[in-house]
Amino acid sequence: MRWSPGKRSGNLRDRRASTGGGGIPLPGKLGGGLGTIIVIIVALLVGTGGDGGSTGSGGGALGEILEQLGGPTVPAATDDALDADAPDPERRQVDFVSFVLDDVQGVWREQFRRSGEQYRDATLELFRGRTSTACGTGTSDTGPFYCPPDQGVYIDLGFFRELSDRFGAPGDFAQAYVIAHEIGHHVQNLLGIDEQVRARSEREPDRENDLSIRQELQADCFAGVWGHAAYTRELLESGDLEEGLAAAESVGDDRIQEAAGADVNPETWTHGSAAQRQTWFRRGYDSGDPERCDTFSADL
């Protein structure tokens, strides 16, 4: 992809240091609401560990409190996790995630605007190992995931190494596809699709897997819609589409989650065949039109 490093998204939450290694239990988004605010304030006062970890950085935790209270957002000191002076070996990688996050959400903001809707940004948290979310404890074993109640995407950068080495899907656009897929789930959440699928699954439990597959394939198609927008702005290089298609093929949850024992289960784990995932990513990519992503009435 064509992109320039050096910028950090205001929606990026860098918790790599505060979540790594285990040991100290994390204060975090345990239940949302007031409890969370109190936990964050405590962390701020104590000035150690967890979400409010780096004292003096100013924006991060305080910004979050203000966000929760609905007040103005303090510009995020996103790198809350690392000593600013220490070299960060993953800096370029984090910059890339940040770039893709903003680019994907920019495309959706425009899509929503065109249909008279308002887009609300998701956040993206980088963590190591395990982290607390409104969906419970998230672990790297599950792969990247989206948690609807806190509208957050959660990624352990180790997944991208696995994507390349274990799943055989290397390349920056493969990573971009993964991020765009997760933001696709956020779009489904904003559009109420998420909720409809859940309600319908409750009414018709024997359709649960089928509905899950359709929801996942739609997220793939939405990722493709972004890919199209990236293509039209000449952000893609030769080989990028192939990287995306290879990634779509490789990230069936059956393969990602062979490592078991995950607490968070924000998505059901039926994602469709490799061929289906490629087909729907491609449909979004070729058309650039979210209306072509109606996986719920299509013959799969």
Hey, which residues between 198 and 237 contact Zn ion (CB under 5 A)? 216, 219
Q: Which is nearer to Zn ion, 43 or 251 (CB)?
A: 251
Report in angstroms how near the CB of residue 137 gets to Zn ion at its nearest. 19
In the complex, the smallest distance separating the C-beta of residue 4 from Zn ion, rounded to whole angstroms, is 29
CB of 38 to Zn ion, least distance (A): 32
Residue 77 or 190: which CB sits closer to Zn ion? 190
> Min. distance of Cβ 73 from Zn ion in angstroms?
28
- Alpha-carbon torsion 194, 197, 202, 205, what sign? negative
Among the listed residues 43, 45, 122, 51, the one whose alpha carbon sits nearest the alpha carbon of residue 81: 51
Number of residues in contact with Zn ion under rule CB under 5 A: 3
Q: Using CB under 5 A as the criterion, what x/- string covers residues 254-283 for binding Zn ion? A: -------------x----------------
Q: Is the CB of 53 or the CB of 144 nearer to Zn ion? A: 144
Nearest to Zn ion of 268, 287 (CB atom) = 268
- Residue closer to Zn ion, measured from CB, 50 or 152: 152
Q: How far is the CB of 215 from Zn ion (least distance, A)?
A: 8
The DSSP annotation for 142-155 comes to: G-SEEEGGGTEEEE
Strands 136-139 and 130-133: antiparallel
- Which one, 12 or 179, has the nearer CB to Zn ion? 179
We find the least distance from the C-beta atom of residue 186 to Zn ion, in angstroms, to be 11
Residue 84: Cβ within 10 Å count: 10
Binding site for Zn ion (CB under 5 A): 216, 219, 267
